[in-house]
Structure 1
Amino acid sequence: MGEHALLSASSSHRWLHCTPSARLEEEFENTSSVFAAEGTAAHELSEYKLRQYLGETVKRPVSEFDSDDLDYYTDIYVDYAIELITEIRSNCKDPIILLEQRLDYSCYVDGGFGTGDLVIVADSTLDIVDLKYGKGVAVSAEENPQMKLYALGALALFDSLYDIKTVRMTICQPRLESISTYEITADKLIAWAEGELRPRAKLAINGEGEFLPGGHCRFCRARHTCRARADEYLSLAKYDFKLPALLSEEEISEVLNLADRIATWAADVYAFATDLAIREGKEWHGYKLVEGRSNRRYTNERAVVETVTAAGYTDIYKQSLIGITDMEKLLGKKMFKELLSGLVEKPAGKPTLVQFSDKRQAISLNNTAEADFKEVI
């Protein structure tokens, strides 16, 4: 496993908000996941492809994740990187191009360093490009602290040699078809580092400051048993389980704002408790381990048919109308439309309340729909 900084760039969104979390995490084992391993494979393959493009003699990496998908999505990132390199070369005779470059930002954050997937220095402009292979949530480059730390590390390497005025930071997420770029002046980046980063990092390295729960808790190793996180969500008990009709609009808004995070927190605690019960035999008051529910299934359907048929039973199949997708394939789209257009409908989906950040378009309901949704209320 590679070396990791206590105040790593990848976890900066968390320790900049919740400064004591970095030291608290040290009490928990730093385990990896299959998703992290897949991301490593994507980075290694991308690096190989780019080094080939740059004329280097390199050996193609091999991993358990090798697949057409891995090849396809890394190509998207590599194609973007090549386009950027080509564009920069058209305006700069001899830019510096670095791949998987260690970037040390310890002049602002004690012991801080990270790895830049692609770093390009051309005259007065510095480009930092980061590949994110995950497909969970699109990550914006705008004011992204991880990218800022990478940029600070690159400035430390080259600012004495080049008069860098502009820093461009790009996050490429090929599996989400997302490419986000943010531009900032070098002066503003350094001002942020001096005014905000340095003092927050000092608190974090000393384990000082206030615990601050939030979306950044998602990947914190202490999230299962963090007292501050529990206190925030348990604070909903102040509503004393009043019926929704007795809550004020402000109270309902507060509950809705926390609902998703409470569900995630509860699932984290449950998974943590279950894991300890299974691995260490930990007993939790009021709970026990039992065999989960499962559905019966045939181990050999052909043998079942032969056995039951030999016993004289023949009515062992149920016939039903094939589904719409299969029917359309059978008839062809044109015939399907001619024969069944009046017999197929797509009902409106059930209204669902989501956060404003959801990309689906808002709908409005008139009063005649009230009866239809009484069950929801």
Structure 2
Amino acid sequence: MTAHQERKHALLSASGSGRWLRCTPSARLEEQFPDTTSEAASEGTLAHELAELKLRHYADTTNFTRRKYAAAVNKLKKDPQWKDEMDRYTEEYLDYIRTAALAMKCTPSVRVEERVRFARYTHEDPGNQVEGSGIADCILVGGDTIHVIDLKYGKGVQVDADHNPQLMLYALGAYDACRILYPVTKVKVTIVQPRLDSISEWECSLEDLLKFGEYVKQRAALAWEGKGPYNPGTDTCRFCRAKAVCRARADHNTKLAFGIGEMPPTITAEEVGERLLALEDIAKYQKDLQEWALGQCLAGKEVPGWKAVEGRGSRDWTDMDAAFETLQGSGIDGALLYERRPLTLAQVEKVVGKKEFQETVGEYVTKKPGKPALVQEKDERPAITNKITAGEAFKEEI
């Protein structure tokens, strides 16, 4: 088992801290549900392994030579999950680390896939090498600064580094390990999501990090005992293994769906905003329930009022080349059987590479405005409006 695969076994894991810090009893509740994986997770594991090889070669070319690096990468390429785009995306991650290291006041120590222990903040268990610890993708330590850098290969949810509890726990563990050698006063955390073209950075003082550690101690004590109030919500429940059948979440969403009360003739903009936030999790909850119920039915268990059936199937060739040869042999013009289509702009950029694409054909690209979308106010994109400004209304026509 690789380091990347064993990250998920701790009860109070750093990766799950965003959940158990908010909803302390969820940690024990999850124990009764299997820790499943997915194709996307397996793909992410492979990308992390490639990123680790690149980073080790960058940090220690003497021991991890070009020859060793090439042999290890070639081995990864035999994995069924391998995609050529992984090379480009992980290179963007490595480029960020190179730049960050050069920007530090002195040459930093580069820690690659290092297990950091934060058990004194979560749960003291010296004999357990997994509990109370986590494996950080990259840690730069130099002078008065600890910089924790995390690669997120997924493209579903953009993750913010601001007060990110996973990376703050890694920073606490890194500080405990190096505080004797380095006069640390500043902590920086970064999340690199190359498939979303996102780099999120956040800094805090050592004092603020240690205050966070005290907060973790209080919450972790409750979580370890399975105590404290449940706190269901969109972000809290997203990756919880118990989310489909959690009673607290069920009651929470039922109250939101049916307990709003009689609608007045008109509602205010403030009420609209409040209700949009309140109802955000209901659609997700329904989908989680459906997936859980389908799994039960497929396993031969009964979910009253529901059953699993075969969905609409699709047809496919057993041998397309042979079929087309037969059709052409019967007199069908081969030109009728094929379509010639250009690649999309995004596909061309992937084939060529972002930098070369911009240099060679960037002048032929224009960005059309996207369809207006409603998002929460915390979204970083600037607000738009259809309202015409006075300047636009009275500007002189040329």
TM-score of the aligned structures, taking structure 2 as reference length: 0.74
Instruction: Flag the 1:102–1:252 CA change in 2: closer, same or farther, 3 A.
Output: same
CA distance in 1, matches of 2:302, 2:329: 46
Cross-structure match for 2:386:
364
In the TM superposition, residue 325 of structure 1 has moved relative to its aligned partner by 10
Checking the alignment, whether the CA contact within 8 Å between 1:6 and 1:22 is kept in structure 2 is yes
The answer as to 2:86 corresponding to 1:70 is: yes
Q: 1:251-284 CA deviation, whole Å, 9 max, x = no partner?
A: 5444322333111110000000001101x21222
**Segment of structure 1 superposing worse, 99-108 or 41-50:** 41-50
Checking the alignment, whether the CA contact within 8 Å between 1:168 and 1:184 is kept in structure 2 is yes
CA distance in 2, matches of 1:125, 1:213: 36
Q: 1:112-132 CA deviation, whole Å, 9 max, x = no partner?
A: 111111112212211111111
Cross-structure match for 1:262:
282
SS at structure 2 position matched to 1:275:
helix
Cross-structure match for 1:92:
106
Checking the alignment, whether the CA contact within 8 Å between 2:25 and 2:227 is kept in structure 1 is yes
Unaligned runs of 5+ in 1: 327-346, 367-377
Q: 1:310-339 CA deviation, whole Å, 9 max, x = no partner?
A: 9xxx9xx8xxxx99999xxxxxxxxxxxxx
SS at structure 2 position matched to 1:363:
coil
Q: 1:172-202 CA deviation, whole Å, 9 max, x = no partner?
A: 11111211221111122112212x1110111
Cross-structure match for 2:359:
none
Cross-structure match for 1:192:
212
Instruction: Flag the 1:135–1:325 CA change in 2: closer, same or farther, 3 A.
Output: closer
SS at structure 2 position matched to 1:17:
coil
Aligned with 1:35 (options 21, 36, 40): 40
Cross-structure match for 1:153:
173
Cross-structure match for 1:219:
239
**Segment of structure 1 superposing worse, 285-294 or 110-119:** 285-294
Cross-structure match for 1:2:
6
Residue type of the alignment partner of 1:86: L
Unaligned runs of 5+ in 2: 124-130, 345-367, 389-398
**Segment of structure 1 superposing worse, 183-192 or 15-24:** 183-192
Residue type of the alignment partner of 1:76: E
Checking the alignment, whether the CA contact within 8 Å between 1:16 and 1:201 is kept in structure 2 is yes
Q: Which has the larger radius of gyration?
A: 1
Q: 1:27-85 CA deviation, whole Å, 9 max, x = no partner?
A: 11111222222222122111211222231444424332333200000001111112222
CA distance in 2, matches of 1:21, 1:192: 20
Aligned with 2:115 (options 92, 102, 117): 102
SS at structure 1 position matched to 2:116:
strand
CA distance in 2, matches of 1:198, 1:269: 33
CA distance in 1, matches of 2:83, 2:306: 43
SS at structure 1 position matched to 2:187:
strand
Cross-structure match for 1:46:
51
The answer as to 2:95 corresponding to 1:79 is: yes
**Segment of structure 1 superposing worse, 45-54 or 347-356:** 347-356
The answer as to 2:75 corresponding to 1:55 is: no
Checking the alignment, whether the CA contact within 8 Å between 1:51 and 1:57 is kept in structure 2 is no
Checking the alignment, whether the CA contact within 8 Å between 1:233 and 1:262 is kept in structure 2 is yes
Instruction: Flag the 1:249–1:232 CA change in 2: closer, same or farther, 3 A.
Output: farther
SS at structure 2 position matched to 1:269:
helix
CA distance in 2, matches of 1:162, 1:323: 59
Checking the alignment, whether the CA contact within 8 Å between 2:296 and 2:303 is kept in structure 1 is no
In the TM superposition, residue 305 of structure 1 has moved relative to its aligned partner by 5.4
Cross-structure match for 2:394:
none
SS at structure 1 position matched to 2:135:
strand
CA distance in 2, matches of 1:57, 1:87: 25
The answer as to 2:220 corresponding to 1:206 is: no
**Segment of structure 1 superposing worse, 203-212 or 2-11:** 2-11
Instruction: Flag the 1:177–1:351 CA change in 2: closer, same or farther, 3 A.
Output: closer
Checking the alignment, whether the CA contact within 8 Å between 1:129 and 1:171 is kept in structure 2 is yes
Q: 1:202-225 CA deviation, whole Å, 9 max, x = no partner?
A: 111111100001112100000000
The alignment yields a C-alpha RMSD, in angstroms, of: 3.3
Aligned with 2:301 (options 282, 285, 295): 282
Which residues in structure 2 correspond to 1:339-354 (within 5 Å)?
A: 353-354=374-375
Cross-structure match for 2:138:
118
Instruction: Count residues in correspondence.
Output: 333
Cross-structure match for 1:165:
185
SS at structure 1 position matched to 2:110:
strand
SS at structure 1 position matched to 2:95:
helix
The answer as to 2:312 corresponding to 1:293 is: yes
Cross-structure match for 1:338:
none
SS at structure 1 position matched to 2:6:
coil
The answer as to 2:376 corresponding to 1:355 is: yes
Checking the alignment, whether the CA contact within 8 Å between 2:294 and 2:307 is kept in structure 1 is no
Instruction: Flag the 1:259–1:23 CA change in 2: closer, same or farther, 3 A.
Output: same
Cross-structure match for 1:12:
17
Q: 1:271-313 CA deviation, whole Å, 9 max, x = no partner?
A: 00001101x2122222222232346778776489579979xxx
CA distance in 1, matches of 2:201, 2:375: 27
SS at structure 2 position matched to 1:19:
coil
